[in-house]
Amino acid sequence: MEETKSWVEVAVTVPAKDIDRAGDIAQMVVPYGIYMEDYSHLEEEAMEIAHIDLIDEALLQKDRTKGIVHVYLSPEDHPAEAIAFLTERYTAAGIDFSIATENVDEEDWINNWKQYFKPLPVGEKLLIRPIWEELADPAGRVVLDLEPGLAFGTGTHETTRLCMELMEKCVKPGVRFLDVGCGSGILSVAALLLGAGNAVGVDIDPLAVKTAEQNAAQNRVADKFTGICGDLAQKVTGKYDVVAANIVADVIIRLADDCPRFMAENSVLIVSGIIDTREAEVCARLERDFTLLERREEHGWVALLFLKEK
């Protein structure tokens, strides 16, 4: 008899006004569907959809000021990583939230998901190796040893891989690299292993910055990495040749106002984490200051490469 597959329910409670944005972000961690509870317009929608005005009392007692996004994850979906990702992204987007899980022991899923994270080739040059996995032959690839901890960023998500594929083209020996919303620091470490002269990773979550510093040390590039805890690029100084931002569309648009300040002449900007339905909006904003060089898409996720000429 086939073993019953276990699932983790992650319920994210947000203000009702933010339910759509929260749903967009949640969709980033589970491509096969979510569902949302939103009772803020219960009576109007009941009449419009079902043409009834008699509503169950339990529904009428629901909190109209809150919405709940429900995500269902199997162990292969890395629940700990997904929750850390949601925490980081909702914080960056300025959405008040609380996260609850059911039907699982927290300590178990923080550790058990590791069995599903295996060495992963990315692009043409990189191989991501979780530190608990043996690696016989890297086949000529640069090996990035990763201890994801609780901060998002193992390279398994499309947004991260698309970003790294574009980085392979842009990161030349000696370049100055900046990662805004660095998570586990995977992009900064990859840049340094590809030859960047130095890298700066910025994240609003102090746990993410700590994890990024640990991953830099694990890969023997700590002397070239600087972690900054702050909101977007507010604390960033200096000029950079390659800037990456693997975050949500709304935050990329907000970041665009500040980008020219810390980008060198003929530098490039790599943005990822964009749902295809938001691509046009992101491009419309960034093309005011940058020239689009390349676009990549996978499973509805888009990564874009822009050039800043002056």
DSSP code string of the chain: -PPPPP-EEEEEEEEGGGHHHHHHHHTTT-TT-EEEEE-TTHHHHIIIII------HHHHTS-TTEEEEEEEE-GGG-HHHHHHHHHHHHHHTT---EEEEESS-HHHHHHHGGGG---EEETTTEEEEETTS--S--TTPEEEEE--TTSS--S-SHHHHHHHHHHHHH--TT-EEEEES-TTSHHHHHHHHTT-SEEEEEES-HHHHHHHHHHHHHTT-GGGEEEEESSTTTT--S-EEEEEEES-HHHHHHHHTTHHHHEEEEEEEEEEEEEGGGHHHHHHHHTTT-EEEEEEEETTEEEEEEEE--
Cα distance between residue 239 and residue 99, in whole Å: 37
Strand partners, 128: 120, 144
Q: What is the mean pLDDT of residues 164-186?
A: 93
Least confident among 59-73, 111-125, 177-191, 274-288: 59-73
Cα distance between residue 293 and residue 283, in whole Å: 11
Fold of 8-112: Alpha-Beta Plaits (3.30.70)
Q: What is the mean pLDDT of residues 273-295?
A: 92
Q: Which of 12, 187, 154 is nearest to 76 (CA)?
A: 154
Q: What was the pLDDT predicted at 226?
A: 96
Sign (positive or negative) of CA dihedral 5, 33, 179, 187: positive
CA 156 to chain centre: 11
Query: CB 38: neighbour CB atoms within 10 A?
Result: 18
Q: Where in the chain is the domain with CATH 3.30.70?
A: 8-112
pLDDT surpasses 70 at 103? no
Task: Work out the pLDDT band at 184, boundaries 50, 70, 90.
Answer: confident
Q: Where in the chain is the domain with CATH 3.40.50.150?
A: 153-308
Q: Identify whether the C-beta of residue 64 lies closer than 8 Å to the C-beta of residue 39.
A: yes
pLDDT surpasses 60 at 294? yes
Q: What was the pLDDT predicted at 51?
A: 33
Task: Work out the pLDDT band at 46, boundaries 50, 70, 90.
Answer: very low
Supply 270's token pair: 């790599």
Q: What is the mean pLDDT of residues 192-204?
A: 95
**HSE value, Cβ hemisphere, 13 Å, CA-based, for 58:** 0
Tokens 């295996």 belong to 118
pLDDT surpasses 50 at 175? yes
| Domain 153-308 -> CATH class | alpha beta
